[in-house]
């Protein structure tokens, strides 16, 4: 069976595995204060084009989301998110477990717009009972989104402006960031995120690392005591160097971009292959998640050799499936799938 | 100015004020363990037609909601509620502050149906990522709802059945319960709630008391250690007898029903008055909240003598207002209002 | 039976009951935004000698403590308290329920000293693992303490200084504040608290009101959005005027001081009576709680006519009891007790 | 410089690194539902001598503690722990962050006794205000403790009995369990823990793994929905197989015991070396943490070649240091240290 179910079905890029092995018996201090973490921080600052950002390494995405949000908000404040946002639907209530409401905003494509954010803030402020309602204080977006879509730089600028106008933090979940950075036509670079967001993270788990997310904090007031919060939320890895070593490999040169680019080219090949054979897309995605509309009988046939995610039923005879590529997808696997459709 | 803004603009029913005054210098033990609380519990058990229910007295509605929900749920569990439910929109995130997600369900009339609940549970259970999603464990409804509407006994029975089928608790917010019990045509009595719900409360704050909500717990497993939770949530009134005295007055005989009935008859007179003059209702309500569609120019005129709640804009020239009556609304006030429309 | 068990065995001062009755049918807006609350705020600001303080009214002490602490602290911060502090032992974990550790400090007399606070801060800062430990950010003291003792002005000044030096908030729980202000020899006035604390409250529940605590916030950064937090914690009374009316009565003139003074004079009479008959005190208290060492056989005899709190066993034949007076203690009751010892 | 600061200064046992490398490009499902995790579970069940236990893999110790405790307790319940317990002092308030008070018990050697637990429960139950106090519901012990000490089987049996008598859960933090199991003279085996505890964990991070803790749940009621709680607390590793692979290596045969034994033999050599040269121990430990009393001048000299933990000052001229060995301590390093003292 070939798995197209997610972008974390394999281990890590071989260069990372080798480096972990070759450094294995070195002695270092713990908790992310070792030289490898410092090295990796340097590379990430370079890519961000800013020396004044704080960089922290955490293990996973849910952990990162709950740590950042809990660090940033006061008890009565909530975070605006697309209805389909990971924090709203797929984290077992991690954000609420630390006391904060996720204020969901309807979205067909996984994105939210500056005008939706503005509307939410105005509606909150103008309500007579505003003190009886959760105060919006942060905007959470994922880039790419859970539906594979991307924000343009102009959309991010607009979000930044509305956040400034209404005193909100802008937080970008970059669990799949590499696939966004390398998507054809996308004009958003790391330096743009570092300029436009208050805090964002660069996903490693789904992009070549065994695990790990690199949080970049640009806003001064969010930097304070962040390591306490990481520790409290269970996210401070004892052997912190494991994260430093991995991100150093990914960003010493251009490995992160290169392997993300591979994932994207496999996704584009798949997308074009399906389109050529007359299939329709459920949603237009230029990233490593492709949502394909597929007749149920075809779907059953494919299941014999391939595993993917059943996304939703479309009508009596048709469904939507999600196919995920990644940094490690083999071209042969893509060819095999395309040969069957 | 005459206020129709809410059902808590005045103090308490005179009988309650008198009783508080005449018992003022008595010495009693605190925290709801006095004889007045015990007396009131007896009356409420009688009205519920069950001796095996636990009755606790709390001060306010938000406090009661957060206490009940926090007592009942494990950390990963959430509570299903209409989108317009008080816990979802008007408690500044009190439920989330104790770690629980409010799982909102779309609703045009403030009610949710058994089939909506069923659908939410099935959708949760059948999802591959079910452990990554908040587990529905409680259904929260308000009766009357925030839109003045009411559940029928048949609808409550259907909710009970779906709760049994999917192992959910059924919790009824009765902040305005009196106005529901006395609404024309409603077939729901206290004994029905005591039979069909796992826990519900009888609102005093909006129905003749200075303050106070009487929680009735029928489900055995929810009874355990409930007083610890009340104390932890800040809801254990030192002079607990104040609550006992008030609920004893309301339920010794039929005061609660009688004064609720007055609120309803004032609401019905208003409703009919508006309808007779050609106004339209935004929503059909048989309880003490009336939602009237009104031209903006008329609205401005009314504001000179009356205060009510601006509910929402309907179109360029028309708005919806909410008019609230209560146990203490004067017929003269109703006549004055009707004379102006 | 005569109760000396607590300072909340009766209702409210008759002037308060009368005012509640005479204003009962007035219509006001809710949630503490009415004219009575504004009036009471004015009186309290006058007594504090500062116009720039925010004043909020809450229902009870536990609720007030959890609201203030939750509003002030970030997630990784804790509150220093005497081991015997109310928040540490008698609030069912209310502070922890909002995520904060109570950092307890040993204390024989219920008080903590500036040097203990300093030591706790230094010890935290100098520890290699400081980020793995809860960060002290607030000092909580009660005045009078749970053991009836009092801080001197000099001690409060010293605490203020250490709080400034280590960037801590100073929070005073004044649930029994009246009895502290009127204690013989105490040099602490309301204006001192308003000058030295960041936030404190004036207890009504135990000093003449049916219920109610008036929170005074002097520190600018603690004022922001405090009403959201009150609402979220379930402490925003719908008929907020009930609190305004009560505190206006207590502080329009000198009622609060006068009735507190009565409680103190009854306590001093009791204390002297016991001392004259050769009893010893467990702790020296000049406030309304007296802790008396008493032979077990005498204790049994007293129980026939009086109720008090069994505090602790001292040795095989001797115990400590707590006797509480209050604004409403009758001199005849005190005489009756003294006659029996 | 040679580090004796902690038991997580290196990576993982070479066998683990090799296995991670050789399985790196395999495709597996995520979240701990792969075959490697299942394999590892089987080995652990075998070692526990029970097939009816649930085994879950988490990343780190703080995360494991907060997940287990949050899963087990209701909001008003707390966990008894030695004052020096990791959850009480070194987790930045992680337990409190989920709402639970750590009820600390004084301890000179890091252990708590059955009679201390009994006393805490009796004292809680007999207090008139028991509902105003946090209810003890769990006993947390670490084995070995933070001071290197160990429980005997008889002590664990006594704790089990008192837990049964007072309806408490018994939870053992085994972050350093290997070093306890292999300590000279210890009579506690994995099967004893599986028989006597409700839940415990087997530490991997400090015993040969890159990271990872294996939670074993024996009590039926604690098993329910545990994976939801892991996910909510951010502890569900996407590439869960990384944990399965590591624990399979450690427990397929006897690697876990063997490498723990090495750490112990290095610790015993150090201990004897110090004793022979006339040094005194601060506390008697048979595990991998040794607490040595050392003159300050000697300490300064040692710092030139070795790093260890400064534990505390003893008197003007003497301090206590902690020296940690582990599965990977080189005998040459031990010899070098002993040569300098």
Q: What is the DSSP string of C67-81?
A: HHHHHH--TTEEEEE
Q: Residue A233: is its pLDDT beyond 90?
A: yes
Name which of A134, A146, A309 to mutate to probe chain B: the one with the most chain B Cβ atoms within 10 A of its Cβ: A134
* C130 part of contact set with chain D, CB < 8 Å: no
Of D28, D92, D93, the CB nearest to A9: D28
For chain B, say whether C175 makes contact (Cβ under 8 Å): no
| Per-residue pLDDT tens over the stretch D45-62 | 999 999 999 999 999 999
Instruction: Locate the chain D residue with the closest alpha carbon to B133.
Output: D228
Interface of D with A in 186-205 (CB under 8 A): 205
Closest to B63 (Cα-Cα) out of A161, C58, C132, A193:
C58
- Please tell me which of the candidates A78, A93, A133 has its beta carbon nearest to residue B76: A93
Q: Do A231 and C99 touch (CB under 8 A)?
A: no
Distances from the Cα of D250 to the Cα of C250, D7, D201, D261, angstroms: 71, 16, 14, 13
Q: Kindly state the average pLDDT of the residues D206-216.
A: 98
Confidence tier at D150 by pLDDT (50, 70, 90): very high
User: Maximum Cα–Cα distance for chain A, whole Å?
Assistant: 63
Longest dimension (CA), chain B: 63
Contacts of A269 (CB under 8 A, 6+ apart): A331, A334, A338
CATH 3.40.640.10 residue ranges in chain A?
Answer: 14-253
Question: What pLDDT does D62 receive?
Answer: 98
Check if B231 contacts C (Cβ < 8 Å): yes
Which residues from C are below 8 Å from B234, CB to CB?
Answer: 59-60, 62-63, 66-67, 94, 233-235
Q: Do A90 and B128 touch (CB under 8 A)?
A: no
Q: Per-residue pLDDT tens, chain B, 341 aa: give them.
A: 999 999 999 999 999 999 999 999 999 999 999 999 999 999 999 999 999 999 999 999 999 999 999 999 999 999 999 999 999 999 999 999 999 999 999 999 999 999 999 999 999 999 889 999 999 999 999 999 999 999 999 999 999 999 999 999 999 999 999 999 999 999 999 999 999 999 999 999 999 999 999 999 999 999 999 999 999 999 999 999 999 999 999 999 999 999 999 999 999 999 999 999 999 999 999 999 999 999 999 999 999 999 999 999 999 999 999 999 999 999 999 999 999 98
Q: What is the mean pLDDT of residues C270-296?
A: 97
Three-class SS state of A78: strand
* CATH code that applies to domain D14-253: 3.40.640.10
User: Where does the pLDDT of residue C135 fall: very low under 50, low under 70, confident under 90, or very high at 90 and above?
Assistant: very high
Top CATH class of B14-254 equals alpha beta
SS3 C136: strand
For D205-277, strand residue ranges (E) read 213-217
B28/chain C closest Cα distance in angstroms: 5
Chain C segment 60-79 residues within 8 A of B by beta carbon are 60-63, 66-67
Neighbours of chain B (3+ CB pairs under 8 A): A, C, D
Q: What's the maximum distance between 2 C-alpha atoms anywhere in chain C?
A: 63
- For residue D300, count CB atoms less than 10 angstroms from its CB and return exposed for 0-12, middle for 13-18, buried for 19 or more: exposed
Contacting residues for C33 by C-beta, under 8 A, at least 6 apart: C240
**Inter-chain residue contact D135 with B229, CB threshold 8 Å:** no
At residue D130, the pLDDT reads 95
Q: What is the rounded distance in angstroms from the CA atom of residue A131 to the CA atom of residue C330?
A: 44
Cross-strand partners of B159: none
**Cβ-based burial of B273 (10 A; exposed 0-12, middle 13-18, buried ≥19):** middle
Q: Does B228 touch chain D (CB under 8 A)?
A: yes
Q: Could you give the residue range(s) of every CATH 3.40.640.10 domain in chain B?
A: 14-254
Is D98 in Cβ contact with C99 (below 8 Å)?
A: yes
CA–CA separation, A297 and A308 (whole Å): 15
Q: Do A228 and C76 touch (CB under 8 A)?
A: yes
Residues of chain D neighbouring B75 (CB-CB closer than 8 A): 70-71, 98, 229, 232
pLDDT at D292: 97
Residues 131-170 of A with CB under 8 A from B: 131-134
Residues 239-278 of B with CB under 8 A from C: 239, 242
> What pLDDT shows up at residue A249?
98
What pLDDT does residue B339 have?
95
Are D174 and D202 within 8 A, CB to CB? yes
Backbone angles phi, psi at C38, to 5 degrees: -65, -40
C7 — phi, psi (to 5°)? -100, 25
ipTM: 0.97
DSSP class of residue D68?
H
Q: State whether residue C126 sits within 8 Å of chain D by CB.
A: no
Residue B125 structure tokens: 């259970």
Nearest to B11 among C25, C92, C236 (CB): C25
D contacts of C90 (beta carbons < 8 Å): 129, 132-133
Contacts of C310 in chain D (CB under 8 A): 128
Residue in B closest to D68 by C-alpha: B75
Query: CA-to-CA distance for A161 and A114, rounded, in angstroms?
Result: 8
Closest residue of chain D to A3, computed from CA coordinates: D27
CB neighbourhood size of B106 (10 A): 9
- Cα–chain center distance at C297: 33
Q: Where are the beta strands (DSSP E) in chain D?
A: 2-3, 54-58, 77-82, 102-105, 135-142, 169-173, 199-203, 213-217, 280-283, 289-295, 306-307, 309-315, 318-324
Query: How do residues C95-114 score in pLDDT, each as one tens digit?
Result: 999 999 999 999 999 999 99
B95 touches chain C (CB under 8 A): no
Backbone φ and ψ of A14, nearest 5°: -50, -35
Give the per-residue pLDDT at B32. 97
Q: Which residues of C touch A98 (CB under 8 A)?
A: 75, 99
- The answer to whether the beta carbons of residues A215 and A62 sit under 8 Å apart is no
D96 vs B: CB within 8 A: no
Test A98 with B99 for CB contact under 8 angstroms.
yes
Residues of chain C with pLDDT > 90: what percent? 98
B102 touches chain A (CB under 8 A): yes
D-chain residues near A62 (CB < 8 A): 231, 234, 236
How many interchain CB pairs under 8 A, B with C? 144
pLDDT in tens, A175-216: 999 999 999 999 999 999 999 999 999 999 999 999 999 999
DSSP designation for D132: G
- Rounded to the nearest angstrom, the minimum Cα separation between D154 and chain C is 32
User: What is the CATH code for B2-7+256-340?
Assistant: 3.90.1150.10
Whether the Cβ atoms of residue B239 and residue B34 lie closer than 8 Å to each other: no
| Inter-chain contacts counted by CB atoms under 8 A, chains A and C | 47
pLDDT, chain C, mean: 97
Q: Place A128 in a pLDDT band, splitting at 50, 70 and 90.
A: confident
At A81, is the secondary structure helix, strand, or coil?
strand
Q: Which residue of A has its CA nearest to C227?
A: A131
Q: Which residue of B has its CA nearest to C58?
A: B234
Contact at CB, A227 and C131, closer than 8 angstroms:
yes
Mean pLDDT of C140-161: 98
* 301-320 in chain C: CB under 8 A from chain D: 309-310
The secondary structure element, H or E, covering residue C165 is: helix C153-166
pLDDT band at D193 (very low <50, low <70, confident <90, very high): very high
For chain C, residues classed under CATH 3.90.1150.10 are 2-7+256-340
Cβ pairs C/D, distance under 8 A: 58
Q: For D231, which residue in chain B has the nearest alpha carbon?
A: B132
Is B322 an 8 Å CB contact of chain A? no
Judging contacts by C-beta atoms under 8 Å, the chain C residues touching residue D97 are 75, 99
Q: Is A5 on the interface with B (CB under 8 A)?
A: no
The answer to whether A92 contacts D231, with C-beta atoms less than 8 Å apart, is: yes
Chain A contact partners (≥3 CB pairs within 8 A):
B, C, D
* Confidence tier at D128 by pLDDT (50, 70, 90): confident
């Amino acid at each position: 069976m070939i798995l197209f179910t997610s972008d974390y079905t394999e281990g890590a890029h071989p260069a990372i595995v080798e480096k972990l092995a070759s450094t294995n018996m070195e002695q270092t201090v713990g908790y992310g204060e070792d030289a490898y973490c410092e090295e990796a921080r340097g590379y990430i600052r370079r890519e961000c084009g800013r020396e004044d950002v704080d960089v922290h390494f955490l293990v996973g995405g849910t952990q990162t989301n709950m740590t950042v949000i809990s660090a940033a908000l006061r008890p009565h404040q909530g975070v605006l998110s697309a209805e389909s946002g990971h924090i709203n639907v797929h984290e077992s209530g991690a954000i609420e477990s630390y006391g904060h409401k996720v204020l969901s905003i309807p979205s067909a494509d996984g994105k939210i717009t500056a005008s939706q954010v503005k509307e939410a803030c105005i509606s909150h402020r103008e309500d007579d009972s505003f003190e009886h309602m959760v105060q919006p204080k942060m905007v959470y977006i994922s880039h790419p989104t859970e539906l594979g879509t991307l924000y343009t730089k102009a959309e991010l600028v607009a979000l930044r402006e509305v956040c400034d106008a209404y005193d909100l933090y802008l937080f970008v979940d970059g669990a799949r960031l590499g696939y966004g950075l390398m998507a054809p036509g996308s004009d958003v670079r790391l330096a743009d995120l570092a300029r436009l967001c208050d805090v964002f993270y660069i996903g490693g788990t789904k992009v070549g690392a065994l695990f790990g997310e690199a949080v970049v904090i640009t806003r001064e007031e969010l930097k304070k005591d962040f390591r306490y919060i990481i520790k409290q939320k269970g996210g401070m890895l004892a052997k912190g160097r494991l994260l430093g070593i991995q991100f150093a490999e990914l960003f010493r040169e251009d490995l992160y971009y290169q392997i993300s680019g591979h994932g994207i080219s496999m996704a584009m090949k798949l997308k074009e292959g399906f389109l050529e054979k007359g299939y329709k897309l459920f949603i237009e995605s230029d990233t490593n998640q492709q949502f394909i509309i597929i007749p149920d009988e075809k779907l059953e046939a494919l299941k014999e050799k391939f595993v993917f995610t059943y996304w939703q039923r479309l009508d009596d005879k048709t469904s939507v499936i999600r196919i995920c590529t990644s940094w490690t997808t083999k071209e042969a696997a893509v060819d095999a799938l395309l040969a069957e459709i």
